[in-house]
Copies of this chain bind each other. A is one copy, B any other.
Amino acid sequence: MIKRNAFIISDRTGVTAQALGNSLLSQFPDVDFEVETITFIDSKEKAERLQQQINHCADSIERRPIVFATLVDDDIREIISQSNCVFFDLFDTFVSPLEKVLGVESSHKVGLSHGMQNASNYATRISAMNYSLETDDGVEVDRYSRSDVIVVGVSRSGKTPTCLYLSLQYGIFAANYPLTSDELASAKLPEVLSSHKDKIIALTIDPFRLQQIRQERYNRDSYASAKQCQYEIAAAEAIFRKEKIPMLNSTQMSVEELGAKIMQKAGLVKSI
């Protein structure tokens, strides 16, 4: 396997640089990357120290490291780009063409995308996160009228991580409701959900995977048995199909994928 060193460098949180840098590196599965993320490079002094670090890395491995950078300040970017590296400018590559297209200059201010510039949007995300926490696992069902979406499924099908991700990433008010044994046995949607049916998204999961997850966490006899997991999933899916509730399978989907699918299925618009 080929080995390469890579630096992901940002003047602020590195969230953008990591998202794109890691996406790009994931396209080269045959290369073994050693990636170092370096954030808050917001002064010439820090940039100069980092330049030395990159040069030192290049010397020691006798190969230029790959650098992905989102650096808004021209001077700082210049210092990093002059280190002994292959420099990919994830941000500035697009800023100049955008200036031409839009006919205005860019602000050259750092930290505009993952900071608190828009205080009301940020407050919405935090409120959404509090809402998701407070309505987790079927509590406070009387607050469902405020929800954007209600995620329903059996215990440990992935509801909580999905709802917290939806709230933090998109500012979505996402409640979740676990179907109990009694509700599954009744073969119909609980009354508390019927009045919010248009907001419900169902999660299902492969029974074998469900069994694994339950066993890892609470290895109680019946709860984590193959029979119980198979029964619960079959009963839950029957309800979802009968009630025509959109269903997602969390077995092979990350919270990012579940979140994006729910946004799409529920016709939700990112509120941040």
Chain A interface (Cβ within 8 Å of chain B)? 2, 4, 12-16, 18-20, 22-24, 26-31, 37, 39-40, 66, 70, 72, 86, 88, 90-91, 93-95, 97-98, 101-104, 106-109, 111-117, 122, 125-126, 129-130, 133, 160-161, 164-165, 168-169, 217, 252-257, 259-261, 263-264, 270
Contact = CB atoms under 8 A, between A and B. Distances in A.
A122 B116 CA distance: 28
Contact of A109 (B16, B27, B72, B93): B27
A257 to B, nearest CB: 6
Give 6 closest A-B pairs by Cβ, nearest first. Answer: A26-B112, A114-B256, A13-B260, A23-B113, A27-B106, A19-B19
Contacts of A115: 253-254, 256-257
A97 to B, nearest CB: 7
B28 A254 contact: no
B260 A24 contact: no
Nearest to A66: B101
A261 B104 contact: no
Contact of A104 (B31, B91, B125, B260): B31
A102 B12 contact: no
A88 to B, nearest CB: 5
A22 B16 CA distance: 9
Contact of A168 (B70, B103, B126, B165): B165
A22 to B, nearest CB: 5
A130 B253 CA distance: 18
Contacts of A101: 66, 86
Contact of A126 (B26, B103, B107, B161): B161
A246 to B, nearest CB: 14
A116 B129 CA distance: 24
B254 A102 contact: no
Contacts of A13: 256-257, 259-260
Given A40-B264, A94-B88, A28 B107 contact: yes
Contacts of A40: 260-261, 264
Given A160-B133, A254-B115, A16 B14 contact: no
